[in-house]
């Protein structure tokens, strides 16, 4: 085989070197571009992270101010309204002892009942305002106490059960308040309309799902008016907390309240 002339060999080698150099240059440019892009992305992520941290810090400061204001309102209500209601009850008791007219005594008794209802409402508001109660354990303890006091003067048997509840899990103030108002409405409906002899309240947790179930063994709800008896309000309250309120009518009435904690 005939060898290529020396000049062609040199030209071929030079062309090969130039081509390899060009390829190397392109590779270097691509690597430098990628490095710059990577540095740019890291710098952008760092700035976004710093911005998010600033927003989080502002939100934490805002929450602290809100909690501080809640505590101030709570203390003011306890000191001012609480003292005022207690003084009102004391004065009414004094007047009742001095009254001789039966009609006047009955009026004073109604005044005492109203003041007691005001006192209970104030306690509920104080409990709702106290951020120290923002746990499942605190909510369940208060719900149990309310249910027991609500039904203690009736013939209805109350059963309370807990399943897999983690007491220290945090629940927001709004979730806690709306769940409690739903419990009040459910118990009131069962007492007034169900003609039941037994009410069962179940608190259950599965991962981040929390369920409160209120059941009675009464006559059930009128199917022609399923949204009556406060059900519309209870469903609205749960929807506002991204939760659900469901009803099942079978051997009584069963109300399910579900939220994500």
Q: What is the largest CA-CA distance in the chain?
A: 141
| Average pLDDT in the chain | 83
Model pTM score: 0.64
Cα pseudo-dihedral 139, 188, 221, 237, rounded to 10: -50
Report domain extents, the chain: 134-261
pLDDT value at position 78? 59
Query: 256 burial class (0-12, 13-18, 19+ CB within 10 angstroms)?
Result: middle
Q: How far is CA 236 from the centre of its chain?
A: 14
pLDDT value at position 117? 75
Nearest to 211 by CA among 237, 170, 179: 179
Could you tell me which residue, 260 or 227, shows the higher pLDDT? 260
Residue 6 main-chain phi, psi, to 5 deg: -60, -40
pLDDT value at position 4? 56
> What are the percentages of helix, strand and coil residues in the chain, rounded to 5?
65, 15, 20
Strands 157-163 and 198-206: parallel
Range name among 86-90, 102-106, 193-197, 244-248 with the lowest pLDDT average: 86-90
Task: Tell whether domain 134-261 is in CATH 3.40.50.11540.
Answer: no
pLDDT greater than 70 at residue 250:
yes
pLDDT value at position 121? 77
Could you tell me which residue, 168 or 68, shows the higher pLDDT? 168
In SS3 terms, 192-261 reads as: HHCCCCEEEEEEEEECCEEEEEEEECCCCCCCCCCCCCCHHHHHHHHHHCCCEEEEEECCCEEEEEEEEC
User: Tens of pLDDT along 115-162?
Assistant: 777 777 777 777 877 777 889 999 999 999 999 989 988 899 999 999
pLDDT value at position 173? 86
User: Tens of pLDDT along 46-94?
Assistant: 888 888 888 888 877 777 777 777 667 666 665 666 667 777 777 777 7
- How many CB atoms are closer than 10 A to CB 255? 22
pLDDT greater than 90 at residue 105:
no
pLDDT value at position 229? 57
pLDDT value at position 224? 45
For residues 174 and 125, give the distance between their C-alpha atoms in angstroms, rounded to a whole number.
Answer: 12
pLDDT greater than 50 at residue 197:
yes
pLDDT value at position 143? 94
């Amino acid at each position: 085989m005939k060898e290529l002339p020396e000049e062609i060999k040199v030209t071929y080698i030079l062309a090969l070197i130039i081509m390899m150099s060009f390829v190397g240059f392109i590779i270097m440019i691509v690597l430098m571009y990628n490095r710059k892009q990577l540095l740019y992305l890291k710098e952008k992520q760092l700035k976004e992270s710093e911005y998010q941290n600033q927003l989080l810090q502002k939100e934490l400061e805002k929450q602290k101010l809100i909690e501080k204001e809640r505590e101030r309102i709570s203390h003011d209500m306890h000191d001012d309204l609480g003292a005022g209601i207690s003084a009102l009850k004391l004065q009414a008791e004094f007047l009742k002892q001095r009254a001789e007219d039966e009609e006047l005594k009955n009026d004073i008794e109604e005044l005492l009942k109203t003041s007691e209802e005001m006192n209970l409402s104030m306690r509920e508001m104080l409990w709702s305002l106290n951020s120290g109660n923002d746990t499942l354990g605190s909510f369940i303890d208060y719900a149990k106490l309310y249910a027991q006091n609500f039904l203690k003067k009736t013939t209805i048997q109350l059963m309370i059960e807990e399943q897999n509840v983690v007491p220290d899990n945090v629940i927001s103030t709004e979730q806690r308040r709306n769940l409690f108002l739903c419990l009040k409405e459910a118990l009131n409906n069962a007492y007034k309309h169900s003609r039941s002899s037994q009410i069962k309240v179940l608190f259950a947790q599965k991962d981040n799902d929390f369920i409160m179930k209120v059941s009675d063994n009464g006559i059930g709800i009128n199917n022609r008016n399923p949204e009556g008896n406060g059900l519309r309000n209870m469903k609205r309250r749960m929807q506002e907390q991204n939760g659900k309120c469901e009803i099942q009518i079978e051997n009584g009435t069963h109300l399910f309240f579900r939220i994500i904690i």
